[in-house]
Amino acid sequence: MLTSREHKSEDTTFRIGSTVVGRDFTIIAGPCAVEDEMTFLDTARLVKSEGAHILRGHVYKPRTSPYDFQGLKDDGFQFIMAAKENLNMPIVMEVTAIEYVPIVAEYADLVQVGARNMQHFELLKAVGRIRRPVLLKRHPAATLYEFLMAAEYILQEGNENVILCERGIRSFSDFSRYTLDLTIVPALKERTHLPVFVDPSHASGRSAYVPPLAKAARACGADGLILEVHPSPENARCDKDQALTPEIFKKLMHELTS
Amino acid sequence: MLTSREHKSEDTTFRIGSTVVGRDFTIIAGPCAVEDEMTFLDTARLVKSEGAHILRGHVYKPRTSPYDFQGLKDDGFQFIMAAKENLNMPIVMEVTAIEYVPIVAEYADLVQVGARNMQHFELLKAVGRIRRPVLLKRHPAATLYEFLMAAEYILQEGNENVILCERGIRSFSDFSRYTLDLTIVPALKERTHLPVFVDPSHASGRSAYVPPLAKAARACGADGLILEVHPSPENARCDKDQALTPEIFKKLMHELTS
Amino acid sequence: MLTSREHKSEDTTFRIGSTVVGRDFTIIAGPCAVEDEMTFLDTARLVKSEGAHILRGHVYKPRTSPYDFQGLKDDGFQFIMAAKENLNMPIVMEVTAIEYVPIVAEYADLVQVGARNMQHFELLKAVGRIRRPVLLKRHPAATLYEFLMAAEYILQEGNENVILCERGIRSFSDFSRYTLDLTIVPALKERTHLPVFVDPSHASGRSAYVPPLAKAARACGADGLILEVHPSPENARCDKDQALTPEIFKKLMHELTS
Amino acid sequence: MLTSREHKSEDTTFRIGSTVVGRDFTIIAGPCAVEDEMTFLDTARLVKSEGAHILRGHVYKPRTSPYDFQGLKDDGFQFIMAAKENLNMPIVMEVTAIEYVPIVAEYADLVQVGARNMQHFELLKAVGRIRRPVLLKRHPAATLYEFLMAAEYILQEGNENVILCERGIRSFSDFSRYTLDLTIVPALKERTHLPVFVDPSHASGRSAYVPPLAKAARACGADGLILEVHPSPENARCDKDQALTPEIFKKLMHELTS
């Protein structure tokens, strides 16, 4: 397997902006979705000033209900450009269909395949043929084997810069949206050379649990984090319960880097 | 919601070949994948002679590993044509990417969106715009709400002929591939006017459990079944452990219709 | 293993009152708990007249919260006696601690070890030493192997009359209390000679789903059912949402026996 | 609720030997089971010299199969005494039945109720009436509510010195025995004043994952750890795959305390 330590023993590393993924502890932060220019740029400035390396800039949003906010789509790209020009910050953006791969690969520095598309094999092959690094999120019901095989589809097409991201599994929990499965961090590091990230925001669904889980992820060997941050979470158009306030984000970044 | 009983109280029914889905108890049967002409036509003749209404004719196969058999793809359409011409039997075929929607809608009488694509929202919208009925399989980690919302994406685009299909949820089982969740049959029938099918072959992963589960599905109100049948399961190119032999299929069909 | 088909190939059968468990399709019915004499005797008469073979007569109730109704305990035995004398109906009663084994074995014709005590190994050994048949419920997180090994503890002590009862596994369901795992019925019948029952009331937690699941359980080969019935479910002191009304119970019994 | 922060806002703390549980970060370590005098004393000396506060000294072992090693039972108490006299180290011991409560409370400094007995309510009440602190392990299928209500049974009887211990939930994992649910640590700390421990050995079932998970547990706010350590894990009579070697334990203790 191309993803295995047997195939390649040393850790895969690659540069995105100022961070070397797989070597530095990398922080991706930003809003759940791009909503409007001012909110987006405010959040971007905040997360940059606190030391985040990559900005969340999602304009296509896969949503459970067709009646939920679906992202700004094409209207969001102008704000992405504004953030890149003003702040010189790399962007991660989700791609939800093969037809969007070219435009997302043009604007984004890191292309995300979301959890619900983890076994959308045609999309995996499509992002395997681009020159951008890919962030592949684990489906909440995926086994480790299925997760690695999904990455294998990408590597097989020639793209070796893939980040694996744990974001919580489906369980019977009565206190969190998903159950963050941190055991997969050392289990993946044992089997694969690819970098492993953790998203405690989507996993827990509650901002109060994000700082302790972020620190736990780092302690057990994760290579990076994805954190949802919003200037005023109560006004966010999606996932308001899990976004960190600027104050809590600042405090967490201080704890993670000290 | 367009899928709800509040929106439409009477059961949705529609004709496919000789069966009226939602009114008659409908049997879909056939091999996991189209493999070669002779095996496919043999299986087709068998399932037709035993009373199945729709033939499985999958040429695109989503597979966990890129090293597994991926289906015959375009080479399979000739065998589909041969089966339709010789046997006059409707075909269900899975569509795994938006780009395949036109050709699948041309050859198939029923277009399947597989479990792993249940929240591939762009594909749901694409099959919502065709004139063919759609078979939507439940993702093994999908809640009832997520399942209905996935169907809602299809109905919203104008296609009201959607079959919902339970095929097992992910659990800790040490004796079956997935856990068949038959409780969702009455739970769905209570909330939605759409027909509900059950696939005991993929759920259990073992042919010995398929007949009792098929009978159980019927007893709890399912509108139809999907059954994997193969002339010699030990030679099947995928899912050999769950395909029924011709003898067991014949016996089961007799029990289901008596 | 004493529980295995290798050890004993023919089905285990034993008589309780008018039914031969493992040979006849056996119905256990009655209230969640014994509440008061009149309600209990009314329910007993009802379930007997509709053809149930064994009456639920639980006086010790294991409850999640210490603030919930814990059963009548010793005060309930007089009502059990009244039901046995007036109606000549066998009783199933749960035992929740080793110290209650003697009194429960004296009053009950079938001794229940509840799901939460499935791996209370000292209790298993204690009921293995009595002369009464035992109804062992599957823990909602037990694998098939763990379930059979729990029964093995009982058989090892000399008691071979054990009924295995599926009552739903813990899952992520958003529409039922537990997920009824009917696949375990054929899976157990394949491996063990012990009779297998199903409890659709506790599994689904909703009376509307009980009749379809009861019929499904029978269709897939279960040897019997446990059904919660109450003269006026809205007044029940526990599990009011899952108890069948007399009318629905009557209709279900008619469907099961026709 | 007696377990709630509303009832008591400040953290519960109590002394066991040299540690104040709920205030100090407490390490419990030792073998899965007491096997023989030399192995037990060797392990005891090792874990003490590396800074562990409490010694695992289990003589009653609940085991899935009746054919597995069931613990030394009464024969083990002499080794417990030897360890206490020679090393002056507090002991944690599991109690598996009400009848053993008095003797376990006499020999042990901390009385463990194992995961499988978490809802053995009569046992909970029995340990609620003793003067020893209780370590209550979460059942692998227990919700947070069920876990707290189990502790409530103990507090209601008058024993307020209860430690809650997460040890992994049942899931579909293909790489670990259970899925360690660290999110419950901050979720419990938010709701209850009781100390919260984590057992990464039983959760993961693989010694290689124990050090990263132990550090993660500490980072997310746990009050203590339970670690399985064995002088030569390959010879352990139970759980050999998850016991730390002396070398790895030494290294981990150094990392946890630096």
pLDDT means over runs of 10, chain B (258 residues): 98 97 98 92 95 95 92 92 91 95 96 97 97 97 98 98 98 97 98 98 96 98 97 87 94 92
Q: Hey, what CATH topology would domain D14-257 get?
A: TIM Barrel (3.20.20)
Give the tens place of pLDDT for each residue, B113-167: 999 999 999 999 999 999 999 999 999 999 999 999 999 999 999 999 999 999 9
Q: A–B: how many Cβ contacts below 8 A?
A: 58
Pairwise CA distance, residues B235 & B215, whole Å: 27
Residue of A nearest to C177 (CA): A172
What lies within 8 Å, CB to CB, of D131 at 6+ separation is D105, D159
C-beta of residue C206 within 8 angstroms of C-beta of residue C212: no
Average pLDDT on A189-201 reads 98
Give the tens place of pLDDT for each residue, D126-140: 999 999 999 999 999
Tell me the β-bridge partners of A225: A27, A198
Confidence grade of residue A257 (pLDDT, cut at 50, 70, 90): confident
C-beta of residue A12 within 8 angstroms of C-beta of residue A188: no
Confidence grade of residue C66 (pLDDT, cut at 50, 70, 90): very high
Percent of chain D surpassing pLDDT 90 = 93
Pairwise CA distance, residues D204 & D225, whole Å: 14
Average pLDDT on D221-247 reads 92
pLDDT for res D239: 81
DSSP A166: E
What lies within 8 Å, CB to CB, of B181 at 6+ separation is B166, B168, B169, C171, C173, C179, C180
Half-sphere exposure of residue D179, counting CA atoms within 13 Å on the CB side?
A: 30
Q: Which amino acid is at B145?
A: Y
Domain ranges of chain B: 14-257
pLDDT for res C196: 98
pLDDT for res A251: 97
Cβ neighbours of C121 in D, within 8 Å: 62-63, 66, 96
Pairwise CA distance, residues B176 & C144, whole Å: 10
What lies within 8 Å, CB to CB, of B49 at 6+ separation is none
Confidence grade of residue C195 (pLDDT, cut at 50, 70, 90): very high
Kindly report whether the global pTM for this prediction surpasses the value 0.95: yes
- CATH superfamily of domain region A25-257: Aldolase class I (3.20.20.70)
Half-sphere exposure of residue D138, counting CA atoms within 13 Å on the CB side?
A: 32
Pairwise CA distance, residues B54 & B44, whole Å: 9
pLDDT for res B257: 84
- Reply yes or no on whether the pLDDT at D207 is more than 80: yes
- Of C80, C79, C84, C108, nearest to C96 by C-alpha is C108
∠ Cα B254 B256 B257 (to 5°): 70
- Reply yes or no on whether the pLDDT at A109 is more than 90: yes
User: Could you say which of A66, A97, A170 has the minimum Cβ distance to residue B149?
Assistant: A66
Average pLDDT on D143-150 reads 98
Q: Which chains touch D (3 or more CB pairs under 8 A)?
A: A, B, C
Query: Cβ contact (<8 Å) for C183 and B173?
Result: yes
pLDDT for res C143: 98
C-beta of residue A174 within 8 angstroms of C-beta of residue C174: no
Pairwise CA distance, residues C183 & C195, whole Å: 15
Chain A from 193 to 252: CB within 8 A of any B CB: none
DSSP C29: E
Query: Cβ contact (<8 Å) for D176 and A183?
Result: yes
* Residue D75 burial (10 A CB sphere; 0-12, 13-18, 19+): exposed
Does the interface ipTM go beyond 0.90?
A: yes
Confidence grade of residue C45 (pLDDT, cut at 50, 70, 90): very high
C-beta of residue B32 within 8 angstroms of C-beta of residue B230: yes
Tell me the β-bridge partners of C28: C54, C226
Pairwise CA distance, residues B80 & C139, whole Å: 47
Average pLDDT on C102-112 reads 97
Pairwise CA distance, residues C80 & A230, whole Å: 62
Percent of chain D surpassing pLDDT 70 = 100
C-beta of residue A47 within 8 angstroms of C-beta of residue A29: yes
3-state helix, strand and coil shares in percent for chain C, rounded to the nearest 5: 40, 20, 40
- Reply yes or no on whether the pLDDT at C248 is more than 90: yes
Type and span of the H or E element at C43: helix C37-49
pLDDT for res B237: 85
Q: Which of A166, A180, A183 should be substituted to probe chain D, the one whose Cβ sees the most D Cβ atoms within 10 Å? A: A183
Residue of A nearest to B157 (CA): A66
Cα four-point dihedral sign C116, C122, C126, C127: positive
pLDDT for res B129: 98
Cβ neighbours of B170 in D, within 8 Å: 172
Q: Which parts of chain A fold into alpha helices (H)?
A: 37-49, 77-87, 101-107, 121-128, 144-156, 184-191, 200-204, 210-219, 246-257
Give the tens place of pLDDT for each residue, C208-246: 999 999 999 999 999 999 999 999 998 888 888 999 999
- Reply yes or no on whether the pLDDT at D258 is more than 90: no
Length of chain B: 258
Q: What is the mean pLDDT of chain C?
A: 96
